[in-house]
Amino acid sequence: MILVLNFGSQFAHLIARRVRDLGVKAEIVPFDTPAQEIAKLKPAGLILSGGPASVLEKGSPRPDKEIFTLGIPILGICYGHQVLAQMLGGKVEKGRTREFGKEALLLGDKRGLFSGLSRRQIVWFSHGDQVITLPSGFQRTAATASCPNAAFADRKRSLFGIQFHPEVTHTANGPRMLKNFLFAACKAKKNWRIASVAKDIVGQIKREVGDQHVVVGISGGVDSLVAATLIHRAIGNRLHAVFVDTGLLRQGEVAQVSGYLRRHGFKKLHVVDASRAFLSRLKGVIDPEQKRKIIGHAFIGAFEKAIRTELRRYPIAYLAQGTIYPDRIESASTSGVAAKIKSHHNLALPEKLGFQILEPLKDLYKDEVRRVGLSLGLPRELLFRHPFPGPGLAIRIVGEVTAKRLRIAREADAVFLAELHAAREYEKIWMAFAALLPVKTTGVMGDARTYEYAIALRAVDSVDTMSADWHKIPAPLLERISSAIVNKVRGVNRVFYDITQKPPATMEYE
Q: Are 28 and 6 in contact (CB under 8 A)?
A: yes
The correct pick among 112, 174, 220, 389 for binding ligand XMP (CB under 6 A) is 389
Q: State yes or no: residue 292 binds ligand XMP (CB under 6 A).
A: yes
Q: Which parts of 315-354 interact with ligand XMP (CB under 6 A)?
A: 342, 344, 346
How many Å is the Cα radius of gyration of the chain? Answer: 26
Give the ranges where 285-428 is alpha helix by DSSP (H): 288-308, 325-332, 349-353, 366-375, 380-383, 403-422
Q: State yes or no: residue 213 binds ligand XMP (CB under 6 A).
A: no
CB of 393 to ligand XMP, least distance (A): 11
The correct pick among 108, 175, 326, 387 for binding ligand XMP (CB under 6 A) is 387
By beta-carbon proximity to ligand XMP, the closer residue of 441 and 501 is 501
Q: Given 99, 103, 167, 419, which residue is catalytic?
A: 167
Stretch that binds ligand XMP, among 252-260, 309-317, 363-371, 502-510 (CB under 6 A): 502-510
| Distance (Å) of CA 108 to CA 82, 147, 148, 166, 174 | 19, 13, 11, 17, 17
Instruction: Give SS3 for 27.
Output: strand
Angle 429-464-323 (CA atoms, 0-180°, nearest 5)? 100
For the chain, counts of helices (H) and of strands (E): 15, 18
Cα(420)–Cα(385) distance, integer angstroms: 12
Q: Is the peptide bond before 438 cis (omega within 30 degrees of 0)?
A: no
- How far, rounded to the nearest angstrom, does the alpha carbon of residue 234 sit from its chain's CA centroid? 26
Q: State yes or no: residue 391 binds ligand XMP (CB under 6 A).
A: yes
Residues 6+ apart with CB under 8 A from 479: none
Cα(276)–Cα(282) distance, integer angstroms: 10
Stretch that binds ligand XMP, among 42-50, 308-316, 328-336, 501-509 (CB under 6 A): 501-509
The binding track of 451-480 with respect to ligand XMP, each residue x by CB under 6 A or -, is: --------------x---------------
Q: What share of the chain is helix, strand, coil (3-state, %, to 5)?
A: 35, 25, 40
User: How many residues sit close enough to ligand XMP to count as binding (CB under 6 A)?
Assistant: 14
Q: Is 57 a catalytic residue?
A: no
Q: State yes or no: residue 507 binds ligand XMP (CB under 6 A).
A: yes
Q: Is 147 a catalytic residue?
A: no
Q: Are 227 and 320 in contact (CB under 8 A)?
A: yes
Q: Is 78 a catalytic residue?
A: yes
Q: State yes or no: residue 10 binds ligand XMP (CB under 6 A).
A: no
Cα(279)–Cα(284) distance, integer angstroms: 10
State the number of CA atoms in the 13 A half-sphere of 382 facing the CB: 26
Q: State yes or no: residue 502 binds ligand XMP (CB under 6 A).
A: yes
CB of 221 to ligand XMP, least distance (A): 8
By beta-carbon proximity to ligand XMP, the closer residue of 247 and 390 is 390
Q: Given 13, 78, 147, 471, which residue is catalytic?
A: 78
Q: Which parts of 403-432 interact with ligand XMP (CB under 6 A)?
A: 431
Stretch that binds ligand XMP, among 115-123, 268-276, 382-390, 450-458 (CB under 6 A): 382-390
CB of 95 to ligand XMP, least distance (A): 32
Indicate left, alpha or beta for 408 from its phi (over 0: left) and psi (-120 to 50: alpha).
alpha
By beta-carbon proximity to ligand XMP, the closer residue of 155 and 342 is 342
Q: State yes or no: residue 361 binds ligand XMP (CB under 6 A).
A: no
Angle 10-330-372 (CA atoms, 0-180°, nearest 5)? 95
CB of 510 to ligand XMP, least distance (A): 8
E strand spans, 185-336:
213-218, 239-245, 269-273, 316-320
Residues shown for the chain: 510
Q: Are 398 and 223 in contact (CB under 8 A)?
A: no
Stretch that binds ligand XMP, among 25-33, 48-56, 316-324, 389-397 (CB under 6 A): 389-397
CB of 288 to ligand XMP, least distance (A): 9
The correct pick among 73, 217, 360, 390 for binding ligand XMP (CB under 6 A) is 390
Q: State yes or no: residue 242 binds ligand XMP (CB under 6 A).
A: no
Q: Are 58 and 26 in contact (CB under 8 A)?
A: no
Cα(344)–Cα(9) distance, integer angstroms: 20
Helices 194-209 and 222-235, axial angle in degrees (round to 10) = 60
Stretch that binds ligand XMP, among 135-143, 388-396, 401-409, 414-422 (CB under 6 A): 388-396
By beta-carbon proximity to ligand XMP, the closer residue of 14 and 205 is 14
Q: Given 13, 81, 165, 471, which residue is catalytic?
A: 165
By beta-carbon proximity to ligand XMP, the closer residue of 45 and 390 is 390
CB of 507 to ligand XMP, least distance (A): 3
Residues 6+ apart with CB under 8 A from 278: 246, 247, 248, 295, 298, 394
By beta-carbon proximity to ligand XMP, the closer residue of 106 and 337 is 337
Stretch that binds ligand XMP, among 328-336, 384-392, 416-424, 469-477 (CB under 6 A): 384-392
CB of 256 to ligand XMP, least distance (A): 19
CB of 458 to ligand XMP, least distance (A): 10
Cα(420)–Cα(320) distance, integer angstroms: 33
Q: Which residues are catalytic?
A: 78, 165, 167
Residues that bind ligand XMP (CB under 6 A): 292, 342, 344, 346, 387, 389-391, 431, 465, 502, 506-508
